[in-house]
């Protein structure tokens, strides 16, 4: 009983971290694409450092 | 004075919708046909054991009502959108909730008639024995229909004007109807049985609260939704 | 926001409108004085209908503003709806209802008596088909019924989108008499047109909309010089 | 007369990266602390440890929906485009945490109840909530005009949120016989500390996700406006 519980606990934490990291990567990629699109549109006029 | 004008406009819209429906008839017949067809398919899928059918009767009737209801709600705005009549409707003076109220009234009569037929078919097909306390069952049915029509009409006013209306309306409507589905089916099953747990009353109260809350919420939200 | 001079029936300044990524109106300004009909010319897709629909409170502008007799189209949309009569490109009628039922519905929504609806049916020459369903009407007959509905509103400002399309000679005369009647009683009209011919008599002046902007309006003096008697006014 | 309407949409400031490290670090810390200090609970073995991710994820879902409600209502009132973009960002992140909560619920249910899915009151409510999120995101996908999309999703978001407590109540009544939902009150105090720490840590992660997603939405919208202004300029 204990061994099988172990796998489920590990699975739960793996799924949690998997989801969080996957979304982080999705955000980074989409952010880069959006910024590049903006850059193409209006080169250099971004008003922040 | 203004209230009487608004009420006259609501009646005019509802009468116009129902006259169009009676003239065309194709709308009502197709929706009822769909409802009964779904009922028969459920009977085939869940049958033939009589007791199983009797247990599933309430659920089957409500699912048939929900699915064919979606057809009716989309249609109620269809005519207006295709002919450009919606733009004319938006031109009349007076508050715009009268459009929603008019559509609501029209859909309420339409769906009530449809449900009456579907329920009758359900009683026959699923061998339901009518208990003595059937008026309470009618009460549950009425409250459920009001909830269904309120949200159905509200979401149809958007879905029917967007690209994928057949998909969007069910996607928006069905999750929101979970409380109605649970309350209506559980209360009906209880009333069909002996309501030992006396839970029917609690469910009916929940349905009433649901209807009041969403009556207010949809009327407020409609102003923002209807403008182009 | 802008000073609504008393004689200005319609005042539009810097109107901008976009659909998704496409800007259809890019800063349109024009005005129509009382008793005046102004033509709005321009090719398809130049934004003529969009201007009319914004003034008719059917569309919300993304930029700029417009007012009808001092009522702002966005903030006082209710007031504007009491002033304008918008004749759309598509008739917007209920095909399964008869001509009379369509008009009685409009009368109920406007709060005017059914007798008024009967009178307008007479005026637009559809009394003989009042009991027939609109589904069987020709485009010209549907246009007349839409005009009857417009007359029922007795609007102060007319917004007409291609009003002469599908109309025969009598129809054009009827349309012009309706416009003339409104102008005489101090109303105004903004008429979107493809070609000028049928409306020449009506228009005080015209302006041309190209790709969402007003080109230099036609010289005031030219169109004023030919005072044309308003035909067929009883 | 302005040739092209000025682009009112400033380019959003860049969300700092260190916040990502802080939030993720907080989750690592909270999780290790909880695992080390949580006593084994009778026959459930260490299953309670799944609680430390499952329950906070559920709380974050409800919190995200509350953010959608607030900014949807604000958009309807103020018609400020950024409120719509924030509501949409919160909805997307909320859907993510909702999906996570459901998966964790199943991973916990399998050993605890022997089946992958149990129509448990809280789990079922969370599933319905997920469908409401899906409906909201579907509406946004099917409407093109930005202003209409904002108005309609604000109305749908607000009305969807109003339904959350009613859904929760109806599902709980429907499942009255089941184990009462595991809120901190029913757990022994040793867990509640671990639970709260993990909830705070996950909250930091959610805040980062929503801020980052919101920033991206604003960049995309700013690019859209610049493109339009350029197209409009026509010089």
Write out pLDDT tens, residues B10-31. Answer: 999 999 999 988 888 788 899 9
The sign of the torsion formed by the CA atoms of D186, D191, D192, D194 equals: negative
Query: Is a pLDDT exceeding 70 seen at residue D45?
Result: no
Do the beta carbons of residue A13 and residue D199 sit within 8 Å?
Answer: no
| Nearest C-alpha neighbor of C31 from the set C229, C227, C220 | C220
The 10 Å Cβ neighbour count of residue D128 is: 21
C126 has a pLDDT exceeding 60: yes
> Is the pLDDT score of C54 beyond 90?
yes
Question: Which of D135, D142, D173 has its CB closest to that of B202?
Answer: D173
Q: Which residues contact B92 (CB under 8 A, 6 or more apart)?
A: B9, C81, C106, C109, C110
Helix/strand/coil for A4: helix
Mean pLDDT to the nearest integer, C113-138: 92
Instruction: Work out the minimum CA distance from B19 to partner chain D, whole angstroms.
Output: 30
Residue D113 has pLDDT above 70, yes or no: yes
Over range D216-220, report the average pLDDT: 93
Chain A meets chain C (3+ C-beta pairs below 8 A): no
Does the distance separating the beta carbons of B163 and D148 come in below 8 Å? no
Closest-CA residue of B relative to D126 is B175
Rounded mean pLDDT, C93-107: 94
D188 near C CB under 8 A: no
Matching CATH number, C1-83+155-234, of 2.60.40.1930, 3.10.20.30, 3.30.70.20, 3.40.50.300: 3.40.50.300
Report the SS3 class of residue B42.
helix
Chains within contact range of chain D (3+ C-beta pairs < 8 Å): A, B, C
- Number of domains into which chain D is organized: 1
pLDDT over 50 at A1, yes or no: no
- The 3-state secondary structure of chain C reads CCCCCCCEEEEEEEEEEEECCEEEEEEEEEEEECCCEEEEECCCCCCHHHHHHHHCCCCCCCEEEEEECCEECCCCHHHHHHHEEEECCCCCCCCCCEHHHHHHHHHHHHCCCHHHHHHHHHHCCCHHHCCCEHHHCCHHHHHHHHHHHHHHCCCCEEEEECCCCCCCHHHHHHHHHHHHHHHHCCCEEEEEECCCHHHCCCCCEEEEEECCEECCCCCHHHHHHCCCCCCCCC
| In contact, B121 and B147? CB cutoff 8 Å | no
Domain that holds residue B165: 2-226
- Whole-number Å distance between alpha carbons of D46 and A8: 10
Q: Answer yes or no: do D224 and C21 touch at CB < 8 A.
A: yes
User: Do chain B and chain A touch with ≥3 beta carbon pairs under 8 Å?
Assistant: no
Q: Categorise residue C5: left if φ over 0, alpha if ψ from -120 to 50, beta otherwise.
A: beta
**What's the rounded Cα separation, in Å, for the pair B172 and D135?**
5
Which of these, B62, B37, B38, B43, lies nearest to B189 by C-alpha position? Answer: B62
Instruction: Give the mean pLDDT of D19-44.
Output: 80
Which residues between 41 and 100 in chain C have a beta carbon less than 8 angstroms from any beta carbon of chain D?
A: 60, 62-64
pLDDT classification of C23: cutoffs 50, 70, 90: confident
Distance in angstroms (rounded) separating the CA atoms of residues D137 and D140: 5
**Residue D114: pLDDT band by 50, 70, 90 thresholds?**
confident
* Cα distances (angstroms) measured from residue C97 to each of B18, C10, C204, D55: 11, 34, 38, 58
Residue D44 resides in a domain? yes
Residue C150 reports pLDDT greater than 90? yes
At C128 the pLDDT is: 93
Closest residue, chain A, to D111 (C-alpha): A5
Measure the CA–CA gap between D61 and D199, rounded to whole angstroms.
Answer: 11
Q: Is B40's Cβ below 8 Å from some Cβ in C?
A: no
**Chains linked to B by 3 or more Cβ pairs within 8 Å:** C, D
CA neighbor of C53 nearest in space, from C19, C21, C20, C22: C19
pLDDT of residue D9: 57
Residue D193, exposed/middle/buried by CB under 10 A (0-12, 13-18, 19+)? middle
Q: For chain C, positions 199-228, list CB contacts with chain D under 8 A.
A: 211-212
pLDDT at A46: 55
Hey, are the CB atoms on A47 and D10 less than 8 Å from each other?
A: yes
D96 in a structural domain: yes
Nearest to B226 by CA among B102, B109, B67: B102
Q: Cβ contact (<8 Å) for C111 and B84?
A: no
Q: Which of A20, A21, A28 to mutate to test the interface with D (most CBs of D within 10 A)?
A: A20
Distance CA C112, CA B93 (A): 12
**Rounded mean pLDDT, D91-96:** 96
Residue D85: per-residue pLDDT = 96
Domain-wise residue ranges, chain C: 1-83+155-234, 95-154
Task: Please state, rounded to an integer, the average pLDDT across all residues of chain C.
Answer: 85
Q: Does C19 touch chain D (CB under 8 A)?
A: yes
> Model confidence over D186-210: pLDDT tens digits?
556 667 888 889 999 999 999 999 9
**Average pLDDT of chain D to the nearest whole number:** 84
**Higher pLDDT among residues C23 and B173, named by residue:** B173
The radius of gyration of chain D's CA atoms, rounded to the nearest angstrom, is 21
In a domain, D12, yes or no: no
Distance between CA atoms of B2 and A42, rounded to whole angstroms? 53
Cβ-Cβ pairs closer than 8 A, A with D, add up to 88
pLDDT in the model for residue C80:
92
- Chain D residues within an 8 Å CB radius of B199: 173
pLDDT digits (tens, 9 = 90+) for C154-167: 899 999 999 988 88
Q: Give the total number of structural domains in chain B.
A: 1
pLDDT of residue A48: 42
D8 confidence band (pLDDT: 50, 70, 90): very low
Q: Say how many CB pairs under 8 Å bridge B and D.
A: 84
- The domain of D119 spans 17-179+192-227
**Could you tell me which of C109, C91, C103 has the C-alpha nearest to residue B92?**
C109
Handedness of CA C2, C5, C11, C14 (dihedral sign): negative
Candidates B109, B94, B100, B86; CA nearest to B215 is B100
Q: How confident is the model at residue C86 (pLDDT cuts 50, 70, 90)?
A: very high
Report the pLDDT value the prediction gives residue D105, as an integer from 0 to 100: 92
C1 C-beta neighbours (distance < 10 Å), count? 8
Are the CB atoms for C62 and C22 separated by under 8 Å?
no
Q: What mean pLDDT do residues B175-186 have?
A: 94
Q: How far is CA A39 from the centre of its chain?
A: 22
Q: Which residues of D touch A47 (CB under 8 A)?
A: 10-11
Q: Which residue of D has its CA nearest to C14?
A: D1
What per-residue confidence (pLDDT) applies to D187? 58
Say whether residue D212 is in contact with chain B using an 8 A CB cutoff. Answer: no
Interface of D with C in 144-183 (CB under 8 A): 144-147
Chain B residues whose beta carbon lies within 8 Å of the beta carbon of residue C55: none
Average pLDDT, chain B: 91
Give B114-169 pLDDT, tens digit per residue.
999 999 999 999 988 888 878 889 999 999 999 999 999 999 999 998 888 889 99
Q: Could you give the CA distance from residue D164 to residue D159 in angstroms, rounded to a whole number?
A: 9
| Farthest CA pair distance, chain B | 60
For residue C153, give the nearest of B91, B159, D2, B171 by alpha carbon: B91
- Looking at the complex, does the CB of residue D156 fall below 8 Å from at least one CB of chain A? no
Task: Using CB atoms, pick whichever of D76, D135, D167 lies closest to residue B171.
Answer: D135
Categorize the per-residue pLDDT at C27 as very low, low, confident or very high, splitting at 50, 70 and 90.
confident
What CA–CA distances, in Å, run from D233 to B58, C25, D21, D146? 62, 12, 43, 20
What is the radius of gyration, based on Cα positions, of chain A?
Answer: 20
Q: Please enumerate in sequence order all residues whose Cβ is within 8 A of that of B25, keeping only pairs 6 or more positions apart, or say none.
A: none
How confident is the model at residue D136, as a pLDDT? 96
Nearest CA in chain A to D7: A42
Chains that touch A (3 or more CB pairs under 8 A): D
pLDDT at B174 over 90: yes
What integer is the mean pLDDT of C167-187? 90
C14 near C27, Cβ under 8 Å? Answer: yes
Q: Does residue D224 sit at the C interface (CB-CB below 8 Å)?
A: yes
**So what's the pLDDT on residue C137?**
93
Cα of B222 to nearest chain C Cα, Å: 15
Q: ∠ CA D116-D119-D120 to the nearest 5 degrees?
A: 100
- Taking every pair of Cα atoms in chain C, the longest distance, rounded to a whole number of angstroms, is 49
Does any domain span residue D209? Answer: yes
Residues 68-97 (D) with a CB less than 8 A from some CB of A: 93, 96
CATH code: domain of residue D74: 1.20.120
CA distances from C225 to B80, C31, C35, C62 (A): 45, 20, 17, 38
């Amino acid at each position: 009983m204990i061994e099988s519980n172990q796998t489920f606990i590990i699975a739960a934490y793996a799924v949690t971290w998997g989801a969080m990291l996957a979304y982080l990567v999705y955000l980074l990629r989409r952010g880069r694409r959006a910024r590049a699109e903006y850059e193409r549109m209006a080169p250099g006029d971004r008003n922040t450092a | 004075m203004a209230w009487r004008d608004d009420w006259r406009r609501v009646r005019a819209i509802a009468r116009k919708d129902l006259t169009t429906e009676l003239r065309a008839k194709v709308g009502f017949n197709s929706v009822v046909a769909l409802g009964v067809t779904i009922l028969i398919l459920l009977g085939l899928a869940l049958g033939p054991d009589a007791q199983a059918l009797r247990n599933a009767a309430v659920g089957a009737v409500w699912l048939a009502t929900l699915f064919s209801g979606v057809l009716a709600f989309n249609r109620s705005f269809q005519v207006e959108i295709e002919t450009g009549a919606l733009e004319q409707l938006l031109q009349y003076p007076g508050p715009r909730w009268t459009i929603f109220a008019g559509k609501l009234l029209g859909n309420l009569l339409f769906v009530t008639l449809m449900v009456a037929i579907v329920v009758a078919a359900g009683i026959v097909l699923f061998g339901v024995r009518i208990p003595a306390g059937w008026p309470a069952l009618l009460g549950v049915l009425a409250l459920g229909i009001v909830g269904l029509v309120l949200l159905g009409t509200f979401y149809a006013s958007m879905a029917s004007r967007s690209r994928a209306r057949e998909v969007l309306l069910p996607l928006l409507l069905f999750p929101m109807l979970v409380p109605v589905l649970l309350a209506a089916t559980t209360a009906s099953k209880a009333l069909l049985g002996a309501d030992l747990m006396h839970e029917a009353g609690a469910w009916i109260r929940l349905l009433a609260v649901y209807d009041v809350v969403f009556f207010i919420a949809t009327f407020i939200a409609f102003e923002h939704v209807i403008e182009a | 926001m802008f000073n609504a001079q008393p004689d200005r029936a319609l005042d539009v300044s810097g109107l901008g409108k976009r659909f998704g990524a496409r800007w259809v109106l890019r800063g349109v300004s024009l005005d129509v004085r009382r008793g005046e009909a102004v033509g709005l010319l321009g090719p398809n897709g130049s934004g003529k209908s969009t201007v009319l629909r914004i003034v008719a409170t059917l569309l919300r502008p993304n930029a700029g503003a417009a007012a009808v007799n001092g009522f702002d189209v966005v903030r006082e949309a209710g007031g504007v709806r009491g002033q304008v009569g918008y004749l759309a490109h598509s008739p917007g009628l209920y095909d399964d209802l008869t001509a009379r039922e369509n008009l009685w519905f409009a009368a109920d929504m406007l709060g005017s008596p059914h007798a008024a609806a009967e009178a307008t049916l007479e005026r637009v020459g559809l009394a003989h088909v009042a009991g027939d369903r609109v589904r069987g009407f020709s485009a010209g007959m549907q246009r007349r019924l839409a005009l009857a509905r417009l007359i029922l509103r007795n609007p102060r400002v007319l917004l007409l989108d291609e009003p002469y399309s599908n109309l025969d000679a009598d129809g054009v005369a009827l349309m012009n008499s309706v416009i003339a009647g409104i102008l005489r009683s101090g109303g105004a009209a903004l008429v979107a047109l493809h070609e000028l011919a049928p409306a020449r008599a009506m228009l005080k002046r015209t302006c041309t909309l190209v790709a969402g902007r007003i080109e230099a309006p036609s010289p005031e003096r030219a169109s004023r010089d030919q005072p044309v008697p308003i035909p067929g006014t009883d | 007369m302005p040739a092209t309407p000025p682009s009112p949409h400033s380019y959003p400031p860049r969300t700092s990266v260190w916040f990502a490290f802080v939030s993720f670090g907080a989750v690592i810390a909270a999780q290790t602390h909880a695992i080390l200090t949580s006593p084994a609970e009778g026959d459930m073995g260490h299953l309670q440890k799944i609680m430390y991710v499952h329950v906070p994820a559920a709380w974050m879902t409800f919190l995200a929906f509350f953010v959608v409600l607030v900014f949807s209502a604000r958009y309807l009132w103020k018609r400020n485009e950024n409120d719509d973009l924030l509501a949409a960002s919160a909805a997307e992140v909320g859907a993510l945490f909702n999906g996570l909560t459901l998966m964790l619920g199943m991973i916990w249910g399998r050993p605890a109840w022997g089946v992958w899915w149990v129509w448990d009151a809280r789990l079922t409510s969370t599933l319905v909530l997920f469908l409401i999120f899906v409906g909201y995101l579907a509406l946004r996908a099917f409407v093109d005009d930005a202003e209409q999309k904002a108005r309609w999703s604000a109305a749908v978001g607000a009305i969807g949120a109003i339904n959350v407590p009613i859904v929760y109540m109806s599902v709980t009544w429907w499942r009255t016989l089941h184990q009462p939902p595991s809120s901190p009150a029913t757990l022994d105090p040793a867990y509640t500390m671990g639970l709260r720490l993990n909830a705070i840590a996950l909250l930091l992660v959610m805040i980062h996700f929503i801020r980052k997603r919101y920033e991206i939405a604003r960049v995309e919208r700013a690019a859209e406006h610049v493109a339009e202004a350029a197209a409009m300029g026509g010089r």
